[in-house]
Amino acid sequence: MLVFVPLAAISYFQEFPRVLVHAGLFAAAEFGGTVLEHLDGVPFPRTIAFGAAALISATIGIVIFTRFMRIPIARMDEEANDEA
């Protein structure tokens, strides 16, 4: 809750809902790490939980980054076609 609440507030006031997704992933990882700690035989339970959340977060980030990288190229191509 220490991280989730401030990130949720930032997400709400800055009108940037993707931050809320990352805050939820952090809260889920914290919960998952706690659950995994109580299971016997699971090595490094918090590392597994936060690693899974980080993998999801990185996947979302890569998709957003690739979309961002494609937009300027498409706009430059359209401008070049308009000038010709």
Give the per-residue pLDDT at 44: 92
Domain boundaries, the chain: 4-83
Report pLDDT digits (tens) over 17-67.
888 888 888 889 999 999 999 988 889 999 999 999 999 999 998 988 888
Pick the closest to residue 18 from 8, 3, 30 (CA basis).
Answer: 8
Q: How far apart are CA 38 and CA 50, in angstroms?
A: 16
Q: What φ, ψ does residue 70 adopt, rounded to 5°?
A: -80, -30
